[in-house]
Structure 1
Amino acid sequence: MTATDRSIELIKAAAQAAADKLAHDIIAYDVSDVLSITDAFLIASAPNDRQVKAIIDEIEDRLRDELDVKPVRREGEREGRWVLLDYVDIVVHVQHAEERVFYALERLWKDCPELPLPDDALATRGKAAEHAAAHGVEDGATQDGAFS
């Protein structure tokens, strides 16, 4: 099974919204073969809590206005370090750059195929790791993929 056309449409719109708000390291995975609860994950990050919230707000507004879809769940907004939007077909994770490097979600989903994204989203790669390194944050994952 692969992600549906609708899921891919949602991912692309969410990725473009994130890029428009200057998100870092936008990536999407087709998780439909390994999870039954959703088709795809979009992961993005930002250098501060305020920007995390701005990215989430833009994604939510864009998907509601352009594709007439609202999240069924929104978690983590109060802290602004890792906010999740659950649209059933897709799940969006926007993390503070430090959490992004520490939790390394990409390692969990590295065996899943990446989904195509708009060019603006692809141009954001490498920014979260640069920010975390500049602020002395180390990757929390060990060699075997477990977290310390």
Structure 2
Amino acid sequence: MDSKRLAQYCCAYADNRKAQQPVILDLRNISSLTDFFIILSGSSAPHLKAIAEEIMQKLKEDHDIRPHLSDGKGSGQWVVLDYYDVIIHVMSEDTRARYDLEGLWGDAPRIKPRKPRGMGKKASTHP
């Protein structure tokens, strides 16, 4: 799966848990760190954890993809999921405002989160 499609899946899974203000930043022409940052907000520590766990669980179940790193689930302020080409930041509203990743990466194009085509359809068993 290409990194843009992975980013779209991550946003769709986050939406399952009512993540707030999703933003996808396209860093492909700006940074060698990753292709995309996804920045999402949650309303409480349990909400942040639920969003992060939904993304991890669905990527594992549906695509056999696991994060290289996950950090911050116990902090209640900022959870980071690193899938190499896509890094997801699930943040409290206060933490998001304080660190302003959107401003820091302000020259990065934004991609509208969309549900990937074919999402939710069962795979065909025909050869």
**How would you bin the TM-score normalised by the shorter chain?**
0.7 to 0.9
Q: If the length of structure 1 is used for normalisation, what is the TM-score?
A: 0.74
Q: How many residues align?
A: 115
More strand by share: 2
Determine if the alignment matches structure 1 residue 8 to structure 2 residue 4.
yes
Corresponding residue to 2:114 among 103, 113, 118: 118
Long gaps (5+) in structure 1 = 120-148
Question: What's the % identity of the aligned pairs?
Answer: 32
More helix by share: 1
Q: Secondary structure at the match of 2:12?
A: helix
Deviation (angstroms), 1:87: 0.3
Does the CA contact (< 8 Å) of 1:13 and 1:62 recur in 2?
Answer: no
Q: Which runs of 4+ in 1 moved over 2 A?
A: none
**Following the alignment from structure 1 to structure 2, what is the Cα–Cα distance between the partners of residues 36 and 91?**
12
Q: If the length of structure 2 is used for normalisation, what is the TM-score?
A: 0.85
The C-alpha deviation readout for 1:18-64, integer Å capped at 9, x for no partner, is 11101111010111122112110000011101000000000111111
Does the CA contact (< 8 Å) of 1:38 and 1:91 recur in 2?
Answer: yes
Deviation (angstroms), 1:80: 2.1
**Following the alignment from structure 1 to structure 2, what is the Cα–Cα distance between the partners of residues 59 and 87?**
11
Does the CA contact (< 8 Å) of 1:8 and 1:115 recur in 2?
Answer: no
